[in-house]
Chain A
Amino acid sequence: MTSLLRKTVDFDETWDSIAKGMYSLLTGTKSVSAIGLVEDVYNLCVAQPHPHCEPLYENIKKFFESHVDQLLQEILETKSDTISEYLKQWKKFSTGCQYCNSTVFRYLNQNWIHKKINDKKFGQPPDIHEIQTLGLITWKERLYSKIKSRVLNCVEILIQKDRDGELVQYSHITQFMESLIKLDSVDRDKFLYKREYETAYLDNTAQFYSRESTSFISSSGISAYMKKAETRIEEEYHRAQKYLNQSSHDKLRRIMDQVLIERHKELLQSECINYLKDEKLDEIHHMYKLLSRIEGGLTPVLTTVQNYIQHVGFEAIQSIPDKNNPEPKIYVETLLRIYLQFSSIIKRSFNNDVSFITILDLACHKIFNQNHITKNTTKSPELLAKYCDILLKKGNKQQLEEAELEEKLSQVIVLFKYVDDKDVFQKFYSKMLSRRLINATSVSDDIEKFMITGLKQACGYEYTSKFNRMFTDITLSTETNEQFKQFLTSKNASIGKIDFSILVLTSGSWSLHSQTSSFIVPSELTLCISAFQEFYHSQHQGRKLNWLHHLCKADVKSNFTKRSYDFQVTNFQLGILLLFNNQDTITSDEITKFTNLNEHELSRTVQSLIEAKLILNKKNPDSASQEYQVNTAYINKRLKVKVSSSLQKETPSQTEDTYKGIDEDRKLYLQATIVRIMKARKTMNHVALIQEVIEHSRLRFQPNIPMIKKCIEQLIEKEYIQRAEGESDKYLYL
Chain B
Amino acid sequence: MSNESENDLNSDVLRLYSSSGHEFVLSRKMSYVSGTIKSMLNADNSNFMEDKLSEIKFREISTPVLEKVIQYFYFKNKYTNSTSDLPEFQINEKIVVDLLLSAHFLDT
Contacts and interface: CB of A to CB of B under 8 A. Distances in A.
A1 B101 CA distance: 12
Given A24-B47, A32-B49, A99-B48, A106 B39 contact: yes
A711 to B, nearest CB: 81
Contacts of B48: 31-34, 99, 103
Contacts of B26: none
Contacts of B57: 35
A18 interface: no
Given A42-B105, A103-B40, A25 B19 contact: no
Nearest to B42: A102
B45 interface: yes
Interface residues of A, number: 26
A326 interface: no
A624 interface: no
A517 B59 CA distance: 129
B100 to A, nearest CB: 9
Contacts of B47: 24-25, 28, 30-32, 99
B101 A2 contact: yes
Nearest to A5: B101
Contact of B62 (A2, A24, A32, A107): A2
A693 B47 CA distance: 87
Contacts of A95: 45
B65 interface: yes
Nearest to A4: B101
Contacts of B52: 31
A112 B64 CA distance: 29
Given A25-B47, A32-B47, A33-B48, A103 B59 contact: no
Interface in B25-66: 35-36, 39-40, 43, 45-50, 52, 56-62, 65
A3 interface: yes
Interface in A77-118: 95, 98-99, 102-103, 106-107, 110
A4 B102 contact: yes
B98 A4 contact: yes
A2 B61 contact: yes
Contacts, number: 73
Contacts of A1: 62, 98
Contacts of A35: 40, 50, 56-59
B104 to A, nearest CB: 8
A38 interface: yes
Interface residues of B, number: 26
A107 B34 CA distance: 12
A39 interface: yes
A99 B107 contact: no
Interface in B51-89: 52, 56-62, 65
B62 A31 contact: no
A24 B49 CA distance: 12
Given A32-B49, A106-B107, A110-B107, A2 B60 contact: yes
B60 A3 contact: yes
A1 B62 CA distance: 5
Contact of A33 (B19, B46, B49, B107): B49
A103 B43 contact: yes
A2 B40 contact: no
B61 A38 contact: no
B107 to A, nearest CB: 7
A719 B90 CA distance: 104
Contact of B39 (A2, A3, A39, A103): A103
Contact of A102 (B43, B50, B58): B43
Interface string A424-446: 00000000000000000000000
B98 A2 contact: yes
A38 B43 CA distance: 15
A2 B19 contact: yes
Contact of A4 (B39, B105, B107): B105
Contacts of A110: 107
Interface string A25-62: 10010111111101100100000000000000000000
A3 B62 CA distance: 8
Contacts of A99: 43, 46-48
A99 B57 CA distance: 19
B59 A39 contact: yes
Nearest to B45: A95
A632 to B, nearest CB: 115
Contacts of B35: 106
Contacts of B105: 4, 42, 107
Which of A1, A2, A33, A110 is packed against the most chain B CB atoms within 10 Å?
A2
A102 B39 contact: yes
Which of B40, B45, B49, B57 is packed against the most chain A CB atoms within 10 Å?
B40
A318 to B, nearest CB: 78
A42 B102 CA distance: 11
Nearest to B50: A34
A297 B1 CA distance: 64
Nearest to A31: B49
Contacts of B46: 99
Interface in A3-35: 3-5, 24-25, 28, 30-35
Contacts of B60: 2-4, 39
Contacts of B62: 1-2
A44 to B, nearest CB: 13
Nearest to B57: A35
A525 B3 CA distance: 118
Contacts of B65: 2
B36 A106 contact: yes
A67 to B, nearest CB: 16
Contacts of A39: 58-60
B95 to A, nearest CB: 9
Interface in A611-657: none
Contacts of B59: 3, 35-36, 39
B4 to A, nearest CB: 17
A104 to B, nearest CB: 9
A33 B102 contact: no
B40 A38 contact: yes
Contacts of B61: 2, 4
Contacts of B36: 38, 103, 106-107
A655 to B, nearest CB: 88
Which of A34, A39, A110 is packed against the most chain B CB atoms within 10 Å?
A34
A674 B65 CA distance: 99
Interface in A208-227: none
A695 to B, nearest CB: 67
Which of B19, B45, B48 is packed against the most chain A CB atoms within 10 Å?
B48
Nearest to B104: A4
16 contacts: A2-B61, A2-B101, A2-B102, A5-B101, A25-B47, A32-B47, A33-B49, A34-B48, A34-B50, A35-B58, A38-B36, A99-B43, A103-B39, A103-B48, A106-B39, A107-B36
A-B CB proximity, top 7 nearest: A4-B101, A103-B39, A34-B48, A34-B40, A31-B49, A2-B98, A102-B39
Interface of B: 19, 35-36, 39-40, 43, 45-50, 52, 56-62, 65, 98, 101-102, 105, 107
Interface of A: 1-5, 24-25, 28, 30-36, 38-39, 42, 95, 98-99, 102-103, 106-107, 110
Given A31-B48, A35-B57, 4 more contacts: A1-B62, A4-B60, A4-B61, A39-B58
